[in-house]
Structure 1
Amino acid sequence: MKTRALRLVPGGLLVLAATALVHAAPLGDAASALVPAYPYAVFGAGLLLGLRFSRSRVILALLVLALADRALHSWSAGGDATAGSGRAVFAAVALLLPVDLAAIGWMRERGVLGAPGRWGLVVILLQMFAVASIRRPELAAVGGALELALVNAGLTEWTAIPQVALLAFAVALVAATLRFLLGGGAIESGLLWTLGAAFLALTARRIGVPSSLYLATGGLILVVSLIEASHAMAYVDELTGLPARRALGEALDAVSGRYAVGMIDIDHFKKFNDQYGHDAGDQMLRMVASRLAQVTGGGRAFRYGGEEFAVVFPGKSVDEVRPHLEALRRAIQVSAFMLRSPDRPRRKPKPAADGRLAGKRVFVTISVGVAEGERRRSRPQEVLRAADEALYRAKEAGRNRLST
């Protein structure tokens, strides 16, 4: 939960910076000078990165923002968002923008050339054609429908956004929040904040610098989210959420002075995997990883590969880290592991009549090998090898123990 909350920080800071830029009088002239180039730079860079990393959702969201910005500037620029021929365009953009962003958030990533990406592009282009056509006199009834009053008009006087579009924003906010909470990553967090930036862009009663600044900032949030997601793919293990082997290598390269490394292996994991299946094996890996992430003594846990993990203790010796690794081993040993069958609910099952939990409880143990190194005297690969040899001795001695 803490990691997920941290994913919200970059987007929030960017929205806050854009808001400060819009409302800070001393920065008004500077903002006006930068805004014309800002959207082109953001959307151009974002589209290139999206193509490079084959992220269709980011590309579609950037297209939605860019086309919304161009539509507002082409047909409502400098105009009052509450009246005139540009009002229908404004109302249409205000309705479609949140709907599109929420829908993109729930799309499955299938690459730029995948079916979802192709159909998404078709829908966006059709929407652009519809927005361009809505100013025609014969479509005045459509513009009127977009202005339908759902509640007393006095309740929404604070914004130029029509009530129908406000409802769309509210529904989109709920949908985007749920998507983020249900296992969303950096992209989902970015789309959530992009939705907020789009709302701020349309809240003003005149189209111009503020709307472009907010919409471009929404694009910048997506670019940052894309970079975060790409970093996570390279450095974070998807199954356990721990830093991956590549991150371990860089952490060892960056350490200075003395350090200790603990290599950890789940005892009899292959037998467990064969008996209960790969899904149960994945559950066990996640459970052990969650305990390792809480290791004390300044250690940092990594997924090394398979059922093996590593813990790095900068500035510590073997004797100093032994109590912390022993405490970790004992904590895992006494932790009951409840097997989750495919039809088992996510919530904890109620106790049976005799007080026991329904389902099969199993226990897991780990073996630990520890070695220490000194930056000037030993290479990280040598320390890892020594820790791995110590781990082998622990397993040969009967498992569920620590060896040096």
Structure 2
Amino acid sequence: MARRKIVRSPDLMLLRRALKHLLPGALLLAAAAALPRVPSLWRLVLELLPIYFSLVFVGGFLLAWQFDRSRIALTLLVLALADRALLHGGHNVHDVVALLLPVNLAAFSWLKERGLLTPRGAIKVGALLLQALGVAALARAHSPAAVSWLSHPLVTWPALAAVPLSQPALAAWLIAAGLAVARFVTRPAALESGLLWAGLTTLLALLAGKTEPLLTFYIATAGLILVVSLMETSRSMAFDDELTGLPGRRALNEELLKLGSRYAIAMVDIDHFKLFNDDHGHDVGDQLLRMVGARLLSVGGGGRAFRYGGEEFSVLFDGKTREEATPVLEKFRAELADTPFIVRGKRRPRKKPSLPLPAGSQKKVSVTVSIGVAEPDGSHGTPDRVVKAADAALYRAKRSGRNRLCT
């Protein structure tokens, strides 16, 4: 007998979600690095640089305030202050700011959102003000001895002599980059990606030295990356389902407005889900929803999956007929029914163990779905009516015994 594949955590969905969040910041950083090498575009950037800088930091701070994202607001404040200090301070100020920047960025990548107008928010603002006052005092003192330790090499490596950063600052940046990557790996979200790429872009600004246009341009681009991540987070909260990572019902409604005359819509419902929740608990029920969502994400045939609500999903086949969509959905239904689902116990490790668990130590359950499929015709020509027709077909499948597809 052929061995059946066992469903584990939806790693594919997590990977796709991570890549989706990483892409905007990566593109902005690549564009920022390439733009100074295009003379005609770079001249235009230089003319608009003051406006660009002001729009990013003033507009970004107001957006972060509006959405109550204290980490983004404070990071934007740190970047704006750092730009002024690096441009108008001496060598000592440069070394101190280059060391403080990665410390602050790493802290903001790991701190939780607590708001600005809260006691914890006030502590963060106070810490930034103390740093700003310290840097200002250092700039006025003109005392090289106060920070001479920053110039001492940690290692003797000739290649580092060409890097316009002190070795302690460079070490701080390496540690901060590692912490930002670790944070994104443990929580692959848009804001974490934004903080990671903003940090790398700020490092690029420091490596550019005290060349004013380049430094200000790179720091402004770091701020833009944060603003884009904030907007992406807001869009995701409105259109995506947090549990499964699939687009939600609002996203489906938006897609329905764009359809032509040729499409098919399927409604997919997990059989006996409420009973499953009662038997195994809501945490395991959430695992099941994530698993089904991950498999629907790669359903094939041009189908796009959405979380419709509860244990119900929707799959949209734009440009396909009901007859073309049915074999794809039938294959999905049959494969899911033939694949045991492992119930993750409370003591079961979240990561796959290096050695297989003993036989019989894993609880496996069978999971099935019922599916209804419809397409526009004379009796239901609008997308809303097609959704209702697919829902009616779904309930026919349930009344007929479940684990089947009806049209």
Deviation sequence 1:100-119 (CA, Å, 0-9, x none): 11111111123333444332
What's the counterpart of residue 356 of structure 2? 351
Preserved contact between residue 258 and residue 374 of structure 1 (Cα < 8 Å): no
Q: CA deviation at 1:33?
A: 2.3
What's the counterpart of residue 6 of structure 2? none
In 2, the alpha carbon distance for the partners of 1:348 and 1:153 equals: 41
Q: Does 1:222 align with 2:260?
A: no
Equivalent AA in structure 2 for residue 313 of structure 1: F
Preserved contact between residue 17 and residue 245 of structure 2 (Cα < 8 Å): no
What's the counterpart of residue 239 of structure 2? 235
Task: Go from structure 1 to structure 2 and tell me whether the alpha carbon gap of 1:301 and 1:14 turns closer, same or farther (over 3 Å shift).
Answer: same
Q: CA deviation at 1:96?
A: 0.8
TM-score normalised by length of structure 2: 0.91
What's the counterpart of residue 188 of structure 1? 192
Deviation sequence 1:141-174 (CA, Å, 0-9, x none): 4311222310116231222111000000000110
Secondary structure of 1:131's partner?
helix
Match of 2:276 among 240, 258, 272: 272
In 2, the alpha carbon distance for the partners of 1:375 and 1:396 equals: 25
In 2, the alpha carbon distance for the partners of 1:352 and 1:104 equals: 39
Q: Does 1:40 align with 2:44?
A: no
Q: Does 1:64 align with 2:68?
A: no
Q: Does 1:166 align with 2:162?
A: no
Preserved contact between residue 248 and residue 307 of structure 2 (Cα < 8 Å): yes
Q: Does 1:291 align with 2:305?
A: no
What's the counterpart of residue 385 of structure 2? 382
What's the counterpart of residue 139 of structure 2? 135
Preserved contact between residue 109 and residue 183 of structure 2 (Cα < 8 Å): yes
Preserved contact between residue 341 and residue 367 of structure 2 (Cα < 8 Å): yes
Task: Go from structure 1 to structure 2 and tell me whether the alpha carbon gap of 1:19 and 1:352 turns closer, same or farther (over 3 Å shift).
Answer: closer
What's the counterpart of residue 244 of structure 1? 248
What's the counterpart of residue 376 of structure 2? 373
Match of 2:36 among 19, 22, 46: 22
Q: CA deviation at 1:377?
A: 6.2
Equivalent AA in structure 1 for residue 376 of structure 2: G
Equivalent AA in structure 2 for residue 329 of structure 1: R
In 2, the alpha carbon distance for the partners of 1:115 and 1:351 equals: 48
Q: Does 1:335 align with 2:339?
A: yes
Secondary structure of 1:309's partner?
strand
Deviation sequence 1:204-249 (CA, Å, 0-9, x none): 2324111101000000111111111111111110100111000011
In 2, the alpha carbon distance for the partners of 1:38 and 1:315 equals: 42
Q: CA deviation at 1:357?
A: 5.4
TM-score normalised by length of structure 1: 0.92
In 2, the alpha carbon distance for the partners of 1:182 and 1:115 equals: 27
Q: CA deviation at 1:136?
A: 4.9
Preserved contact between residue 267 and residue 365 of structure 1 (Cα < 8 Å): yes
Q: CA deviation at 1:332?
A: 1.1
Map of 1:250-261 to 2, 5 A cutoff?
A: 250-261=254-265
Q: Does 1:303 align with 2:311?
A: no
Secondary structure of 1:338's partner?
strand
Match of 1:113 among 108, 117, 133: 117
Equivalent AA in structure 2 for residue 386 of structure 1: A
What's the counterpart of residue 80 of structure 1? none
Preserved contact between residue 391 and residue 402 of structure 1 (Cα < 8 Å): yes
Match of 1:54 among 68, 93, 105: 68
Q: CA deviation at 1:277?
A: 0.8
What's the counterpart of residue 146 of structure 1? 150
In 1, the alpha carbon distance for the partners of 2:377 and 2:116 equals: 47
Task: Go from structure 1 to structure 2 and tell me whether the alpha carbon gap of 1:18 and 1:352 turns closer, same or farther (over 3 Å shift).
Answer: closer
Cα RMSD of the aligned pairs, angstroms, is 1.9
In 2, the alpha carbon distance for the partners of 1:366 and 1:114 equals: 47
**Structure showing greater relative contact order (alpha-carbon pairs closer than 8 Å, 6 or more residues apart):** 2
Task: Go from structure 1 to structure 2 and tell me whether the alpha carbon gap of 1:303 and 1:91 turns closer, same or farther (over 3 Å shift).
Answer: same
In 2, the alpha carbon distance for the partners of 1:344 and 1:251 equals: 39
Q: CA deviation at 1:2?
A: 2.7
What's the counterpart of residue 404 of structure 2? 401
Preserved contact between residue 87 and residue 212 of structure 2 (Cα < 8 Å): yes
Equivalent AA in structure 1 for residue 98 of structure 2: A
Preserved contact between residue 87 and residue 210 of structure 2 (Cα < 8 Å): no
Preserved contact between residue 265 and residue 367 of structure 1 (Cα < 8 Å): yes
Secondary structure of 1:113's partner?
coil
Q: CA deviation at 1:401?
A: 0.8
In 1, the alpha carbon distance for the partners of 2:225 and 2:386 equals: 41
In 2, the alpha carbon distance for the partners of 1:367 and 1:219 equals: 47
Equivalent AA in structure 2 for residue 8 of structure 1: L
Q: Does 1:9 align with 2:9?
A: no
Equivalent AA in structure 1 for residue 72 of structure 2: V
Preserved contact between residue 200 and residue 214 of structure 1 (Cα < 8 Å): yes
Equivalent AA in structure 2 for residue 127 of structure 1: Q
What's the counterpart of residue 98 of structure 2? 94
